[in-house]
Amino acid sequence: MSGLPVWIGIDDTDSYYGGCTTWVAAKLALRFKDRLLDFPYLVRLNPEIPWKTRGNGALALKFSSLTDKEVEEVATFVMSVARGDGKTSPSLLISWGDVRQDRFAIKAIRDVITRRELERALEKIAPTSRYFLKKPGKSRGLIGCIAAASHQWSDATYELIGYRDDQSYERPEFREDVLWMDSLTAPITFANFDREAGKPLIYPHGPDPVLFGIRGEDVRVLKAGMMMLRNSCSFWMVFKTNQGTDEHVVAIRSFEQAYPYTTVSIEAHVASNPTTISGGHVVIDLIDKDGNHGQAVFYRQTGNLNRVVRRLVRGDLVRIWGGVRPETQRKVINGQGLTLVAPKNTYEEVPSCPFCHRKMKEVNAGRYICDTCGVQAVGKARLQLKRDILPNRIYQPSASAFKHLMKPAGRRAILTPQEVRSILS
Ligand SMILES: [Zn+2]
């Protein structure tokens, strides 16, 4: 099958105890750098899946060609460095020509892939593919391999990851460097520094070979950012990724469409004032446009977001997004973001007497009278509600609670072909 581009898909070679799938991909990208057709892809899969690996990221590389001997070399290398600890199922896919499982890929990011769906996809790609498993029969990692190699990019960001080759556990953190880099390169770079907690976010904390990761929109700026750090890495690689794109979020109209293990975005009315439960988490009751009831919980850990949600009032129209809990009794969303679409700005009250300021009494439907002064009024009094939450602003969790796929407010999708045409017309 020479003459065709070769796709390599890798998943689940990392574990909680070390090893890292991006490290494996970076090594392969450097080894065959002369035939690399794009940056390696780092595709984050559905974050709501309970059996996911840490970060739930799958990798894919596209080369213009590889000889049979080189393919063997890739397989030997990946399988020898994959650790396969615990519940991981390290997998490698090699495909000649495009994999073209686009719908499978998007489902792996937004939903759950069943065993049957995986088997069907493997049947389809079998004539042009080979796969390798670290543990016989443990093929779940192939979901990520197929998804990463098939992923279609409607939006993308980049991450520059620096690695250390020695397995020493020392990982110096240069707080000032990161702050400096952030102030010069953000918002083209993002998720560098948690200004609330005063901590850098580019350093991982596990015993893996990653020294730092700088995320952002423009590869050249990421490279400049790396130069501003005193950290010296053994080697580095740039990944094209769906991090920061909200690709996992599905817009729905009704709570009936809120399926467990998915991340949804829904517009709904706030049905009762927010309640704070033990632990400082905030619960709001919601009613969607079809009259279905639902709930959203905003954990204390979401920091800023949790504090904003407390200020909602019954009657507000909001858009909220987050992961759907696997509960069957009712629809509960773990809130990850909020926009106030239409704030409730007024409220009605039984009128007070303009002379003695006592509350008036209702005499019959909608008519009020002051017992003392005899003054009459028709209808309730409409009063202005003071709000300290801005409409149409995107409220998000604090930096420390930000997850890979969440799109930072302020960044937007790359232009669609239609938008490009409309600008040029
Ligand atoms: Zn009165």
Q: What is the pLDDT of residues 221-267, one digit of tens each?
A: 999 999 999 998 999 999 999 999 999 999 999 999 999 999 999 99
Q: What is the pLDDT of residues 207-222, one digit of tens each?
A: 778 899 999 999 999 9
Bridge partners, 276 (sequence order): 282
Q: Is the pLDDT of residue 16 over 60?
A: no
Instruction: Give mean pLDDT, residues 175-185.
Output: 96
- 6-150: which CATH topology? Alpha-Beta Plaits (3.30.70)
State pTM to two decimals.
Answer: 0.90
CB under 5 Å of ion ligand 1: residues: 353, 355-356, 370, 372-373
| Ligand 1 midpoint to CA 360 (Å) | 8
| Cα separation, 219 vs 422, whole angstroms | 26
Residue 5 pLDDT grade (very low, low, confident, very high; cuts 50, 70, 90): very high
| Ligand 1 midpoint to CA 277 (Å) | 41
DSSP category for residue 42 = E
The answer to whether residues 338 and 370 touch, using CB atoms and an 8 Å cutoff, is no
Helical H segments across 111-155, by residue range = 115-125, 141-150
The confidence score (pLDDT) of residue 165 equals 75
| Ligand 1 midpoint to CA 380 (Å) | 16
Instruction: Give mean pLDDT, residues 85-91.
Output: 81
Q: Is the pLDDT of residue 102 over 70?
A: yes
| Ligand 1 midpoint to CA 347 (Å) | 22
C-alpha angle 76-82-87 in degrees, rounded to nearest 5: 140
| Ligand 1 midpoint to CA 348 (Å) | 19
| Ligand 1 midpoint to CA 382 (Å) | 19
3-state secondary structure 191-214: CCEECCCCEECCCCCCCCCEEEEE
- Smallest Cα–Cα separation from 202: which of 229, 184, 183, 221? 229
- Smallest Cα–Cα separation from 334: which of 303, 308, 288, 299? 299
| Ligand 1 midpoint to CA 359 (Å) | 8
| Cα separation, 178 vs 192, whole angstroms | 7
Q: Is the pLDDT of residue 40 over 90?
A: yes
For the chain, the distance separating the N- and C-terminal CA atoms, rounded to the nearest angstrom, is: 43
| Cα separation, 126 vs 411, whole angstroms | 39
| Cα separation, 140 vs 119, whole angstroms | 10
Q: At what angle do helices 115-125 and 102-110 cross, to 10 degrees?
A: 150
Instruction: Give mean pLDDT, residues 368-388.
Output: 93
Phi, psi angles (nearest 5°) of residue 185: -115, -20
**Comparing 192 with 16, which gets the higher pLDDT?**
192
| Ligand 1 midpoint to CA 351 (Å) | 11
Q: What is the pLDDT of residues 279-336, one digit of tens each?
A: 999 999 999 999 999 999 999 999 999 999 999 999 999 999 999 999 878 999 999 9
| Cα separation, 343 vs 346, whole angstroms | 9
Helix, strand, coil fractions of the chain, as percent rounded to 5: 25, 30, 45
Phi, psi angles (nearest 5°) of residue 291: 90, 10
So what's the architecture of 249-345+386-404 in CATH? Beta Barrel (2.40)
Hey, CA dihedral for 185, 186, 191, 194, is it positive or negative? positive
Asked if the domains at 6-150 and 157-241 fall in one CATH topology, the answer is no
Residue 18 pLDDT grade (very low, low, confident, very high; cuts 50, 70, 90): very low
The confidence score (pLDDT) of residue 244 equals 96
The confidence score (pLDDT) of residue 209 equals 85
| Cα separation, 354 vs 371, whole angstroms | 13
Question: What are the residue ranges spanned by the domains of the chain?
Answer: 6-150, 157-241, 249-345+386-404, 346-384
| Cα separation, 189 vs 183, whole angstroms | 10
Computed over every residue of the chain, the mean pLDDT equals 92
Which tokens belong to 120? Answer: 């069907």
**Comparing 349 with 207, which gets the higher pLDDT?**
349
Torsion-angle region of residue 315: left (phi > 0), alpha (psi -120 to 50) or beta? Answer: left
| Ligand 1 midpoint to CA 354 (Å) | 7
| Nearby residues of 401 by Cβ (< 8 Å), 6 or more positions away | 299, 301, 302, 303, 305
Quick check: helix, strand or coil at residue 290? Answer: coil
Q: What is the CATH number of domain 157-241?
A: 3.90.600.20
